[in-house]
Amino acid sequence: MGAFVKAVAFAADKHRNQRRKDADASPYINHPIALANEDGVDDATVLRACPATEDFFRARLDQMIDLRHSLAVLSSRMPWQQIEASVAHLFSRKAHAGVAMPDLDLFGEAPAPLARKSNAGRPRVPLRTMTALLYLKHAFDLSDEAVVQGWSENPYWQHFSGQALL
């Protein structure tokens, strides 16, 4: 029961400012707590009904899609590590003067801090996602905008690009 209570406490904290659209505008988390509290429902039953995910409130893509779909099969057969290794140098971070930073490890180690820290820019997109989106763009003859739109709507594309959770 302890893990379930911790999960409920965590959910209540994360959703404390969210309200349902009912007449009372009750807290969002009240509904799942009330369901779990009904007669005959215990924590083991509730947890068995929920798919095992790294994030309790998000579904795993591989549990939602047909893994026999052509993109799911292709995704499992692609040599992603080799592809990433062969294109990593194309996406390496450049110093402000345009000089390559060969000591920067794209796959884990933090770069040495520069003399000044820039707040500009966004975190990098994983190489697998970028290469998958390039493949989808060319395979379906789409514009950049159409690929982004399609990716946001299609769980098969998201799975192909390495996303695990919806």
Same domain membership, residue 75 and residue 19: no
Same domain membership, residue 104 and residue 44: no
Q: What is the DSSP string of 94-160?
A: B-TTS-B-TT--TTSSPPPPPSS----S-PPPPHHHHHHHHHHHHHTT--HHHHHHHHHH-HHHHHH
Please give the single-letter amino acid code of residue 150: G
Q: Which residues of the chain have pLDDT under 50?
A: 48, 51-53
**Number of domains observed in the structure of the chain:** 2
Same domain membership, residue 124 and residue 75: yes
What does the pLDDT read at residue 53?
Answer: 44
- What are 35's two structure tokens? 């369901």
Residues 1-12 have pLDDT tens digits of 566 677 777 777
Residues spanned by the domain of 37:
2-50
Q: How far apart are CA 51 and CA 78, in angstroms?
A: 27
CA dist 13 to 6, 17, 24, 74, 129, Å? Answer: 11, 9, 20, 40, 32
Same domain membership, residue 149 and residue 74: yes
**Mean pLDDT score of the chain, rounded to an integer?**
75
Against a cut of 0.75, is the pTM above it? Answer: no
In a domain, 77, yes or no: yes
Q: Select from 132, 134, 130 the least CA-distant residue to 92.
A: 130
Same domain membership, residue 75 and residue 139: yes
